[in-house]
Structure 1
Amino acid sequence: MFSWYRQVTAKERKTFWACFSGWALDALDVQMFSLAIPALIAAFSLSKADAGLISGATLVASAIGGWFAGALSDRYGRVKTLQITIIWFSFFTFLSAFAQSFPQLLVLKALQGFGFGGEWAAGAVLMAETIRAEHRGKAMGTVQSAWAVGWGGAVLLFSVLFSLLPQEMAWRVMFVIGLLPALLVVYVRRSVQETDAFLAGQKAAASKPAASTLLGIFRPDVLRLTIIGSLLGVGAHGGYYALMTWLPTYLKTEKHLSVLSTGGYLAVIIVAFWCGCIASSQLLDRIGRRRTVAFFALACVATVLCYIFLPLSDTQMLVCGFPLGFFAAGIPASMGALFNELYPSGIRGTGVGFCYNFGRVASAGFPVLVGHMSDSMPLGQAIGIDAAIAYSLVVVAVLMLPETKGRKMETSA
């Protein structure tokens, strides 16, 4: 399964671990918020819609950050942009611990999201341009599995802190720990090299104004890819965030699970998410990008509907949690390789950052909508309806994109 790792160079391995660590620490910071939603509602007297608004604002900011960071990576380098974005999102996660009001928390979480979206864009292009074509799907999918590692760390941290500390203090300590990812910059500066693809086109890119880099993805020759790729991002993120933002609250408030029991349910989904990423990484280089994404999206629709709407017992829900996490992982694990292979080098960072993160702009409405719908129906039903619609959109979009398996980055167009 991991035999490909022994076939890559030292440069490819160092870049792999830098991106893997970056995504794991990203997930740690982001998932801490969804776990802390009940405590934040109590601390600031928020409604579910207010909590959804914070999540939505973070997603919108991350989309803007991803687009801009992608453009910066096309002009100034993948590695430099990666370092800046890591420091950015770590710093604002830390500041969120000291928020004294709902407006303050809203602004700080939005600023954190700006850096989070940028980190994914820069890291995805860096990894895709460094790894060889025959292993790109496996490497990108495995890097995405780092999300499960960070997610698991967040759940563990949540369980420990909320068991040992008062609720009003525990969530602040969680956000303080969010400063840790900044230490990754030390490793990136010392060990990770700029990609050959970027260096080869650096002179040409330097002569272009910033506006041409940002808007290059809307040229007639790539406009169709940008539109369809963005729709794919909308569906993928919409389903994921509708489900994962509200799942801890759903388990706690409607299933009446204790904190540690909620962590146990999430642990099953998190392990399944990691397994799904690894499975997707293998399928990407075997059956191709389109078939892999379509398979996981269809499976997500069926699994979400069963998980939310069937009258399952606690034990049955625990068992069904594994396929839920497994299939939810396959789509994000596929998008890094697919989006990178759609664009030529000069606008690759911009294209990847826009398509992946544009989905966050539109998908930001899904968590907000879940919050509003839960005022007139059970929270579980609201989550299920939104997620099923979003994953159906993924199927439609991916069938309109070309297959890019094995495509050389320098000839992508």
Structure 2
Amino acid sequence: MTKSHTHVSSDPLQQIRWLTYMMFFMFAMTSDAVGMIIPELISDFGLSMTQASAFHYAPMAMIAISGLFLGFLADSLGRKKTIMLGLLIFSASCFLFAISSSFIFFVFLLCCIGLAIGLFKTGALALLGDISNSNEEHTKTMNKVEGFFGIGAIVGPALVGVLLVQNVSWTYLYIIAGIMCLILALLAWRAD
């Protein structure tokens, strides 16, 4: 027990970096898959392209609003609590996709996901600034964040493609993301 405790506390900064990489991976996985989901929405709900595009614009608008107007929470609540709040809202919203079949409710859930992403992004980016010892180290970390975001942007649409080929609902993408998010929330809670 002592050995594993020493390992966890010996490099909490690396653990924080990996948590951040995985958060951005998950964020990209869900947001970049929307392009694959929109044709399914048009077919399932008889929507126009303009109506279905709310699936993309609603969460992006909430990410912007959250980042602009709730960024102060990273300072007032603290980095960890802000990240945890974002992860828990994200996870709960993802799981609610399983029990709904309403387009309006799906858009509402995506607004909640956008709000959550804005929260954990501002908390995580502030934290990365805090733990970087130099500009060079901060740049390397941010480049890795972008790399994981890019990988997530590939994995999300590919996963939706696989689900659709297997005649499985695209909503399972959000169930998978919800499970990942719960794991990240647990790891964030345990991190120093």
Per-residue Cα deviation, 1:323-362 (whole angstroms, up to 9, x for no partner): xxxxxxxxxxxxxxxxxxxxxxxxxxxxxxxxxxxxxxxx
2:158 equivalent to 1:159: no
2:157 equivalent to 1:173: no
Compared with structure 1, are the counterparts of its residues 47 and 97 closer, same or farther at alpha carbon in structure 2 (3 Å cutoff)? farther
Q: Which runs of 5+ in 2 are unaligned?
A: 1-9
Q: Which amino acid aligns with 2:176?
A: I
2: CA distance between counterparts of 1:97 and 1:40?
A: 15
Q: Does structure 2 retain, via aligned residues, the 8 Å contact 1:93–1:108?
A: yes
Aligned residue pair count: 181
Partner of 2:126: 125
How many angstroms does 1:89 deviate by?
A: 1.3
What fraction of aligned residue pairs are identical, expressed as a percent?
A: 25
Task: Note the 1:164-243 alignment, pairs <5 A.
Answer: 164-165=166-167, 169-180=168-179, 181-191=181-191, 193=192
Per-residue Cα deviation, 1:142-194 (whole angstroms, up to 9, x for no partner): 112111222232133122211111xxx52122222221212101111222x3x
CA RMSD in angstroms comes to 1.8
2:138 to 130, 136, 139: 136
2: CA distance between counterparts of 1:121 and 1:81?
A: 8
Q: Does structure 2 retain, via aligned residues, the 8 Å contact 1:92–1:109?
A: yes
2: CA distance between counterparts of 1:161 and 1:135?
A: 39
Task: Note the 1:309-348 alignment, pairs <5 A.
Answer: none
1: CA distance between counterparts of 2:25 and 2:80?
A: 17
Q: Does structure 2 retain, via aligned residues, the 8 Å contact 1:69–1:81?
A: no
Q: Which runs of 5+ in 1 are unaligned?
A: 1-8, 194-413
TM-score, L = length of structure 2: 0.85
2: CA distance between counterparts of 1:174 and 1:12?
A: 30
Q: Which protein is bigger by CA-based radius of gyration? A: 1
Moved over 6 A (4+): none
How many angstroms does 1:42 deviate by?
A: 0.6
Q: Which amino acid aligns with 2:118?
A: G
2: CA distance between counterparts of 1:68 and 1:84?
A: 15
2: CA distance between counterparts of 1:172 and 1:25?
A: 15
Q: Does structure 2 retain, via aligned residues, the 8 Å contact 1:86–1:119?
A: yes
Partner of 1:84: 85
Q: Which amino acid aligns with 2:172?
A: V
Partner of 2:50: 49
Partner of 2:148: 146
Compared with structure 1, are the counterparts of its residues 12 and 178 closer, same or farther at alpha carbon in structure 2 (3 Å cutoff)? closer
Q: Does structure 2 retain, via aligned residues, the 8 Å contact 1:93–1:176?
A: yes
How many angstroms does 1:68 deviate by?
A: 4.3
How many angstroms does 1:25 deviate by?
A: 1.3
Q: Which amino acid aligns with 1:186?
A: L
2: CA distance between counterparts of 1:18 and 1:69?
A: 21
Q: Does structure 1 retain, via aligned residues, the 8 Å contact 2:91–2:177?
A: yes
1: CA distance between counterparts of 2:155 and 2:71?
A: 28
Partner of 1:112: 113
Partner of 1:349: none
TM-score, L = length of structure 1: 0.41
Secondary structure at the counterpart of residue 32 of structure 2: helix
Q: Does structure 2 retain, via aligned residues, the 8 Å contact 1:61–1:113?
A: yes
2: CA distance between counterparts of 1:156 and 1:54?
A: 18
Task: Note the 1:388-407 alignment, pairs <5 A.
Answer: none
